[in-house]
């Protein structure tokens, strides 16, 4: 796997990224808060890509990967309509 990293995430913004790419090295950034959106995750001092797409950015310091993926991937701060606590079959067992 190729490891590409940069102290500045600006070099990756609006460019295609693939899973495994390291887009931000947090060890070189001090006193900055970064908010991660869908498609990114933090591994110790690095932010890496989890799904292919374009790296996007909005102020102040929010990054996410924009994809054409149709499947829902949950993210922090998503609204929740309900929580399934139990599931049972409606068909009774025949003896």
pLDDT of residue 54: 92
Q: How do residues 25-46 score in pLDDT, each as one tens digit? A: 777 777 778 888 888 998 888 8
Domain ranges of the chain: 9-66
Q: Is the peptide bond prior to 61 cis by the omega test (within 30 degrees of 0)?
A: no
Count Cβ atoms below 10 Å from residue 4 Cβ, excluding itself: 11
Q: Is pTM, for the whole model, over 0.75?
A: no
Q: Tell me how far apart the alpha carbons of residues 47 and 87 are, in angstroms, rounded to a whole number.
A: 37
For the chain, give percent helix, strand, coil, nearest 5: 5, 30, 65
Per-residue confidence (pLDDT) for residue 1, from 0 to 100 = 41
**Fold entry, domain 9-66:** OB fold (Dihydrolipoamide Acetyltransferase, E2P) (2.40.50)
Please choose, from the candidates 44, 43, 48, 67, the residue with its C-alpha nearest in 3D space to the C-alpha of residue 5: 48
pLDDT at 73 over 80: no
């Amino acid at each position: 796997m190729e490891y590409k990293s940069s102290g500045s995430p600006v070099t990756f913004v609006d460019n295609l990224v693939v899973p495994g790419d390291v887009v931000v090295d947090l060890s070189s950034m001090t006193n900055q808060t970064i908010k991660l959106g869908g498609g990114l995750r933090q591994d110790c001092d690095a932010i890496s890509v989890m799904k292919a797409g374009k790296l996007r950015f909005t102020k102040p310091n929010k990054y996410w990967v924009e994809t054409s993926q149709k499947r829902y991937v949950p993210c922090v701060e998503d609204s929740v309509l309900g929580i399934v606590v139990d599931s049972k079959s409606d068909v009774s067992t025949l003896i």
